[in-house]
Chains A and B, each alone.
Chain A
Amino acid sequence: MSAAADMHEVPEVPTTRASGRWVKAFRTPGGIVGLILMAIVTTLALLAAFGVGQDPATQEVSDALQGPSASHWLGTDQFGRDIFARVCSGLANSLRVAVVSVTLAAVGGVLLGILAGYYQGVLDRVVGVITNVLFAFPSLLLALALAATLRRSWLTVAIAIAVVYLPIFARVARGPVLTLRHAEYVLAATAVGRSRLSTLFEHVLPNITGILVVQVTLSLSWAILTEAALSFLGFGTPPPAASLGGMVYAAQTLTSVAPWMLYAPGAALILAVVGLNLLGDGLRAALDPRGGNQ
């Protein structure tokens, strides 16, 4: 792996050099642990998404509030549903909401940021005001207000979270455009007849990939936390679908009889978020020169 990475160390081609740094991110102990955690979390979520294992919705009231056993690895909840199946299905829900919301936020935000930085003038001011307005709300409060006004489903929760994180991506993308729009190679590309905007997309995007990847990873962890908090408050993914936040809420009053109901979804939530944060830190050390620890 290292020989291949070294061969690609050609300074003139930023993308291949970046691939060497990608490998570096996964060599830090934190990055490796993050990768392993995310592999476990994703596998569990995918298994649940494809219906492998027990059904998360099957109720067996005679088995309610059972501790961990061979037939129910993590015990059962107050309706006798299998907690392990519900945790996996809750993870699938968390990841689904996080991936959809961060994708929407990243695509929308980067597009807005590049256009604002490029056209400047009125558009830039409008985008600036929109980002300022969205930043003016504590993020959970804004997500809550948005989620509460839309019809409750996992998709509207994802959209609400996307709106909250969109301005971050707009800011990340806008900065480099301001410096690159007058760069000589952009001017040169215009001189030979290329449209300046397409040149910008072509040159700006590779330049901000590093920051973007880090931002996407960290935003995924925030999105998981936001979704869980919304579900905990009763404004997130609606039941009977399993959500980790909703499971923690249900467990709260039953901790004296069934503590596993709290531990299982709590641990799953922490593992997913720690995994993403470790991965994000490893990526930041490797890809983002500003965030490096040196």
Chain B
Amino acid sequence: MEGVGLLSAAASLGHRVGAVGRHPVARRVGEAAVTLLGVSILTFVLLRVVPGDQITAAYGTAAGDLTPEQVEALEAYYGINEPVLSQYLGWLGGVLTGNLGVSATSHLSVLSMTAQSLPNTIELAVFAILIGLALGVPGGMLAASRPGRARDQISQLTSLIALSVPSFLLAAAVSSWLVNTIGWYPNGEGYRTLLEDPLLNLQQMLLPALVLGISIAPPILQTTRAAILTVRSEDYVRTARAKGVTGRRLQVRHILRNALIPVVTMSGLQFGFLLGGALVVEQIFAIPGIGRQVLLGLEQKEYAVVQSTVLVIAAMFVLVNLLTDVVYRLVDPRVRVQ
């Protein structure tokens, strides 16, 4: 026991002395940087072992008719005759200076493609999170109000079923049902951005955001429920009760406000997930988001596009998680003390 006390004393001393290196936020930033480096290596290696390369992508079946000399010249042109390590460093150097490569079919730069697709995905993710919160938080509050009773079990069962319905199935069912019954299907027309045609854009976002919102509501419901149950038995709630605080004020000011902290974290994680995990729904509802950019790249065997886009998605995922962590520290002073 004494050893443990000594250790923690030493740790807290070290905390103060090596303020920067040991600061938890600095450590998380360092960790995120290492992770990103690993992510870049993994995406590079992944798309190195792909059957077929840029030459096949650019020339299709005609690549088989090329003479060895032509293949060699093309390999030099695309830089794939260089050693793997220098290829990787070249690609990474390009990425760091904003050069994500160029699509071989459309001749657009991946950077400009991403600049177009990413806002669509972010818009979709924001709407999905709002719907998820609107369904999950009241559901969790309802479940936590009488734990173990009928309303708790019903909301838990509903969330379990919502969790079990794959989003692509829900999307396919909803869109075909709408088309067959009322004939209203805004996503059948070409996609319009929020700036081009706000009214149509919101209609086009409604169904995919609803499908995604339903799929992220269950974790938000579970988190809300668990957090409320934990907070309710905290000392300060008992103190508030002892002071005579009751009813709405107790529920909202003392319980809900504190219980929402983990819900914010969960929403952050889900937001990060949606940036790349929405690709099936983007595909079905024809939202030209970043996930669809990956799918299109895979279909057209545009591995340079896939490689850079996957890297962008993973980088944003890491950054959103890092940000969530930092915000969590700011919102909840108890985490800073630990």
CB within 8 Å of B: which residues of A?
A: 129-130, 132-133, 136-141, 144-146, 148-149, 151, 221, 225, 228-229, 232-235, 245, 248-249, 251-252, 255-256, 259, 262, 266, 269-270, 273-274, 277-278, 281, 293
Contacts and interface: CB of A to CB of B under 8 A. Distances in A.
A229 B279 CA distance: 10
Given A137-B276, A149-B46, A130 B313 contact: no
A45 B32 CA distance: 43
A151 B51 CA distance: 8
B172 A233 contact: no
B38 A133 contact: yes
A132 B32 CA distance: 9
10 contacts: A130-B38, A132-B31, A136-B38, A138-B273, A141-B313, A149-B51, A228-B168, A235-B298, A256-B180, A266-B173
Given A228-B168, A277-B163, A140 B279 contact: yes
Contact of A141 (B177, B279, B283): B279
B286 to A, nearest CB: 13
Contacts of B39: 133, 136-137
B49 interface: yes
B277 A277 contact: no
B33 to A, nearest CB: 11
A145 B306 contact: yes
B154 interface: no
Nearest to B226: A293
A132 B318 CA distance: 9
Given A262-B172, A277-B160, A278-B160, A136 B279 contact: no
B291 A141 contact: yes
A248 B172 contact: yes
Contacts of A259: 176
Q: Chain A binding site: helix, strand, loop or mixed by DSSP?
A: helix
B164 interface: yes
A109 to B, nearest CB: 17
Interface of B: 31, 34-36, 38-39, 42-43, 46-47, 49-51, 147-148, 160-161, 163-166, 168-169, 172-173, 176-177, 179-180, 272-273, 275-277, 279-280, 283, 291, 294-295, 298-299, 306, 310, 313-314, 317-318
Nearest to B317: A136
Contact of B160 (A140, A151, A262, A274): A274
Among all A-B residue pairs, the 8 with the closest Cβ atoms: A133-B38, A138-B276, A255-B176, A138-B277, A273-B164, A141-B276, A132-B35, A274-B164
Contacts of B275: 138
A144 B294 contact: yes
Given A232-B168, A255-B176, A146 B46 contact: yes
Contacts, number: 123
Contacts of B35: 129, 132-133, 136
Contacts of A269: 166, 169
A18 to B, nearest CB: 24
Contacts of A270: 161, 164-165, 169
B166 A228 contact: yes
A292 to B, nearest CB: 11
Contacts of B272: 138
A149 B160 contact: no
A251 B176 CA distance: 10
Given A248-B172, A252-B172, 6 more contacts: A129-B34, A137-B313, A149-B47, A255-B179, A277-B163, A278-B160
B314 to A, nearest CB: 5
Contacts of B160: 274, 277-278, 281
Contact of A133 (B42, B148, B298): B42
With most chain B CB atoms within 10 A of its CB, the pick from A138, A234, A252 is: A138
A245 B168 CA distance: 9
B29 to A, nearest CB: 13
Contact of B49 (A137, A149, A245, A252): A149
Contacts of A141: 276-277, 279, 291, 294, 310, 313-314
Contacts of B51: 149, 151
Contacts of A248: 168-169, 172
A251 B169 CA distance: 11
A192 to B, nearest CB: 25
A128 to B, nearest CB: 9
B295 A233 contact: yes
Contacts of B276: 137-138, 140-141
A256 B172 CA distance: 12
A132 B276 CA distance: 17
Contact of B317 (A129, A138, A140, A149): A138
A232 B280 CA distance: 9
A256 B176 contact: yes
A210 to B, nearest CB: 19
B172 A140 contact: no
Contacts of B147: 293
Nearest to B314: A136
A249 B314 CA distance: 27
A215 B130 CA distance: 29
Given A144-B294, A274-B164, A138 B313 contact: yes
A77 to B, nearest CB: 15
B43 A145 contact: yes
Contacts of B164: 221, 270, 273-274, 277
A252 B172 CA distance: 6
